[in-house]
Amino acid sequence: RKNAQGKPEPFHLYSMRQAIEENFILDVLENYTTYSLFYRLTKSIEDDPKLNKKKAAKAIGKFISLHPHNLSQKTQIIIEHFRNSVSKRIGGKAKAMLVCGSRLHAKRYYEEFGKYIKEKGYQNEMKVLVAFSGKVVDDNTPDGVSEPQLTGFSEKELPGVFEKEEYKILIVADKYQTGFDQPLLHTMYVDKKLSGVKAVQTLSRLNRIHPGKTDTFVLDFVNDRQTILDSFQPYYELTTVTEETDVNHLFDLKNHLDQFQVYWQKEINDLVAVYFHPLTKLNTEKQQSKLYAFTDPAVDRYKELEKEKQDEFKKGLRTWINLYSFLSQIMPFPADELEEFFAYARLLQKRLPKNDYSEQIVLDDEIALEYYRLQKIQEGAIQLQKDQQGELSGTSEAGLKRPKEEEAMLSEIITVINERFGTEFVEADKLFFDQIEEELYSDSNLGAQARANKMDTFKYAFDDKFMDKLISRMDQNQEMFERIVGDDLFGAVVREYLMKRLYQRFNK
């Protein structure tokens, strides 16, 4: 039917927001992170956070060596992350999916995974499957190789095989990105450009509920947060992104919550003694409700607080739970006390009286601004907010012409960067960029890719070449090198302007 503005609208709306609120599906964007954030957070708990220049240079060098375009390095990241942060979730039954950009990528990833697992002796811990259609031709398979030839199972058998406990990760290329129902899927590793309905369908493979499954996790090597946000917006109502995550907020906020004296350590210890006891069965709501008794004293103390203090404590507790849930999937915390408090806090949160029926367990803008100051790029949970409508465009004439790009001189690019970031480039900085641009412009292979592809596709080739040139010249301007690599937003702007400028020059 059509609305008052004459636009088509559904007769009945059961939105993604409502489904999440009513616990029919999980929020797959709650713990979404990019590779750059993942790397930065894992480094943030090193013993010596005040790095000298030499140590900083080594850390940056490691960042480069783990560049996401390197399949073998990404294999290490994925498998070790799964072993350390995912494998114990959902009672040790959690599974993951790796989404690749092509069938060739899927085939090569499968080989890299097998090689790495064998080298590390992980054969008894995990097995991996791959799914793709047809045959893939590669250097070592000139006649092509099919999915059944690699896995030993027919295409019809594969979903059932993945059900088995020993199979932990499924590598896919298009296949199973839609219509695949596996409730034990907890984590998704994304190494493919996603946008629009494809992004929603792909990430939604994680949203199935299952006993013991309380969250999901996405580690994205390729996409930027805004693209994912824009993709989900029409299907929710409105989406926003939380501010940057600082690990220290976790401890600062815990200390702040302690000051309210709502809970006592003895009560937490008593709950933990039961909750983490191997013989305790918590399979039913009735059994789980017995644990709530340990939070009764805290609920009583909470009710005695003034209304303003109640709101402050509840918001702080909610924020701490979301923050720990997110960070614990990226980095190992040495203190068991945090995991124990997390278990207690989640139960306590459910018991606290609600002021409003519509109150949600999400990080709203107020909390985000209070606890997560935006410093570089936005990360953490991609928040889905209420009461705003998104609009889906209908099918229209396909665009066949490339958009005209506004051409900019290098001096203009530098001016824009200076204005945006408050930088003051000296002549050496301008020379640094000019030399990189000219070296890239002299690359005939890069030029051929620029002339044969749209800018969105050319970007991948440019990123690889740009990083190579950047590394080769790091000794000439280490300060600029560290700024580009260490500041994601600054680096992204520099790359974008240089990429567009080169694309225009190649296509003149």
Kindly write down the DSSP assignment for every residue of 357-419, as one continuous string: TT--SS--HHHHHHH---SSS--B-EEEESS---------PPP-SPPPPPP--HHHHHHHHHH
Output the average pLDDT for the chain: 73
> Hey, which residues does 195 pair with through a beta bridge?
none
pLDDT digits (tens, 9 = 90+) for 434-443: 888 888 998 8
pLDDT digits (tens, 9 = 90+) for 66-75: 444 568 888 9
- The backbone torsions φ and ψ at residue 144, rounded to the nearest 5 degrees and listed phi first, read 90, 150
> Hey, which residues does 189 pair with through a beta bridge?
98, 219
Distance CA 114, CA 40 (A): 28
User: Is residue 122 over pLDDT 70?
Assistant: yes
**What is the pLDDT confidence band of residue 332, given thresholds at 50, 70 and 90?**
low
- The burial class, CB within 10 Å (0-12 / 13-18 / 19+), for 356 is exposed
User: Is residue 193 over pLDDT 60?
Assistant: yes
Task: Show the tokens assigned to 182.
Answer: 């596996």
Helix axes 478-486, 53-65, angle to 10 degrees: 50
- Lowest model confidence (mean pLDDT) among 201-210, 316-325, 381-390: 381-390
Q: Which residues contact 75 (CB under 8 A, 6 or more apart)?
A: 109, 112, 113, 116
Bridging pattern class, strands 382-385 and 238-241: antiparallel
Residue percentage of the chain with pLDDT more than 90: 20
pLDDT digits (tens, 9 = 90+) for 170-183: 999 878 766 678 89
User: Is residue 402 over pLDDT 60?
Assistant: no
- The burial class, CB within 10 Å (0-12 / 13-18 / 19+), for 267 is middle
pLDDT digits (tens, 9 = 90+) for 211-258: 888 888 989 888 888 888 888 876 655 333 344 556 777 888 899 999
What pLDDT score was predicted for residue 288? Answer: 56
The b-or-e profile of 234-249 (16+ CB within 10 A means b, else e) is bbbbbbbbbbbbbbeb
Going by C-alpha positions, the residue among 495, 488, 493, 501 that lies closest to residue 416 is 493
Q: Which residue bears the tokens 């409502």?
A: 18
Between 446 and 409, residue with greater pLDDT: 446
Q: Which residues contact 26 (CB under 8 A, 6 or more apart)?
A: 20, 206, 207, 208, 209, 213, 215, 216
Between 144 and 10, residue with greater pLDDT: 144
Distance CA 292, CA 295 (A): 5
What pLDDT score was predicted for residue 205? Answer: 86
Distance CA 36, CA 77 (A): 12
Most confident of 87-101, 279-293, 353-367: 87-101
The b-or-e profile of 464-501 (16+ CB within 10 A means b, else e) is ebbbbbbbebbeebeebbbbbbbbbebbebbbebbbbb
Q: Which residue bears the tokens 């894992």?
A: 42
What pLDDT score was predicted for residue 444? Answer: 87
Going by C-alpha positions, the residue among 187, 177, 238 that lies closest to residue 33 is 187
User: Is residue 297 over pLDDT 70?
Assistant: yes
N residues, the chain: 508
pLDDT digits (tens, 9 = 90+) for 28-56: 787 888 776 565 555 444 433 443 434 44
Q: Contacts from 400-409 at CB under 8 Å and sequence distance 24+?
A: 402/454, 402/455, 405/455, 405/500, 405/503, 405/504, 407/501, 407/504, 408/497, 408/500, 408/501
**What is the pLDDT confidence band of residue 380, given thresholds at 50, 70 and 90?**
very low
What pLDDT score was predicted for residue 291? Answer: 73
Segment 110-127 mean pLDDT: 94
pLDDT digits (tens, 9 = 90+) for 311-325: 899 988 988 887 887
Q: Which residue bears the tokens 């009710």?
A: 303
What pLDDT score was predicted for residue 225? Answer: 80
Between 477 and 465, residue with greater pLDDT: 465
- Is CATH 3.40.50.300 correct for 27-33+66-220? yes
Output the DSSP codes for 111-159: HHHHHHHHHHT-TTT-EEEEE-SSEEEETTEEEEEEHHHHHSS-TTTHH
DSSP state of 354: P
Between 84 and 383, residue with greater pLDDT: 84
What pLDDT score was predicted for residue 117? Answer: 96
Distance CA 260, CA 167 (A): 46
What pLDDT score was predicted for residue 53? Answer: 39
**What is the pLDDT confidence band of residue 137, given thresholds at 50, 70 and 90?**
confident
Residue percentage of the chain with pLDDT more than 70: 65
Between 274 and 264, residue with greater pLDDT: 264
Segment 183-200 mean pLDDT: 88
Q: Which residue bears the tokens 């999937």?
A: 329
- Lowest model confidence (mean pLDDT) among 101-105, 137-141, 403-407: 403-407
**What is the pLDDT confidence band of residue 209, given thresholds at 50, 70 and 90?**
confident
The DSSP element (H or E) to which 34 belongs, if any, is strand 32-34
Distance CA 236, CA 27 (A): 11
- Lowest model confidence (mean pLDDT) among 54-68, 274-288, 464-478: 54-68
Distance CA 362, CA 382 (A): 10
Distance CA 76, CA 117 (A): 9
The DSSP element (H or E) to which 446 belongs, if any, is helix 444-452
User: Is residue 358 over pLDDT 60?
Assistant: no
What pLDDT score was predicted for residue 115? Answer: 93
User: Is residue 5 over pLDDT 80?
Assistant: no
The answer to whether the beta carbons of residues 206 and 99 sit under 8 Å apart is no
